[in-house]
Amino acid sequence: MRAPRMIVLLSCFAFGVARAEEKKEWEHSAELSLLLTSGNTEISTFGVGGASAYKPDPWAVKAKANYLRSSDSGLKKAESFEAELRGERKLSEPLSIFVLANYLKNQFSGFNDRFGAETGANYLLLKQEAHELSTELGVGVIKENRTDNTIQNFVTGRIGARYAWRFSENGEFSTQTSFIENFQTTRDWRIRNVNSVTAILTSVLSLKASFAVEHLNTPVMGKKKTDTTTTIALVAKF
């Protein structure tokens, strides 16, 4: 299966580069989620993800990938794979610029493949011990290979915001929202929101619960406008 192979390749790449560097400028994380039910229904959900960041100030390079599969009585019900590579350069304490590339495969939402690239700026509005708020603006391009045998290429504009609240020594809440406008077909706007609560268990392990909503105002033919995903995952940071 191509998605797991891509995760392995990204992980090997991050590990190989990390071994080549001796500086303590790397951050890594990996997460695993698993849900099994039996009895009247046999439903299983499996998720795996990983991220690496290299931060030689004022630069930062980040890579992440996530794979999720859900099945009912052995039949695949949902499957998705997404990956992103992002480079940033800090211009001042609150302002940075970035360029990124991303990929999504989710046939149950109507996408055989979706490729995107974007450049823009991020501004840190608030940074305190317990609170952090940032916003960013970007312009980019998207190419979509859809399950209804159509292909779309268009220019996008995006505005996003992220807020994080450290409500206790071992707990954090975060929410991230993006609004994307399709400049070719303005009614084809999209919204993505991800809310997460993290409980720190040890210096390495955390438990994270997240709820994601993705809305496409003009969905792929035969698909609904809104998808939601709820996950509970064990996260390791090293």
pLDDT digits (tens, 9 = 90+) for 33-74: 987 766 666 778 899 999 999 999 999 999 999 999 988 877
pLDDT bracket for residue 1 (50, 70, 90): very low
Q: DSSP letters of 19-67? A: HH--SS-EEEEEEEEEEE--SS--EEEEEEEEEEEE--TTEEEEEEEEE
| Minimum mean pLDDT range among 27-41, 112-126, 142-156, 190-204 | 27-41
pLDDT value, residue 40? 62
The rounded distance, in Å, linking the Cα atoms of 175 and 181 is: 20
Domain 2-237: give its CATH superfamily: monomeric porin ompg (2.40.160.40)
- For residue 11, pLDDT beyond 70: no
Secondary structure in 3-state letters for 41-53 = CCEEEEEEEEEEE
Can you give the residue ranges of every domain in the chain?
2-237
Choice between 76 and 118, residue whose per-residue pLDDT is larger: 118
Yes or no: say if 120 and 137 are a contact pair by the CB < 8 Å rule: yes
pLDDT value, residue 125? 98
Which of 85, 12, 93 has the alpha carbon at shortest distance from 53?
85
Choice between 226 and 42, residue whose per-residue pLDDT is larger: 226
| Minimum mean pLDDT range among 37-46, 74-83, 98-107, 169-178 | 37-46
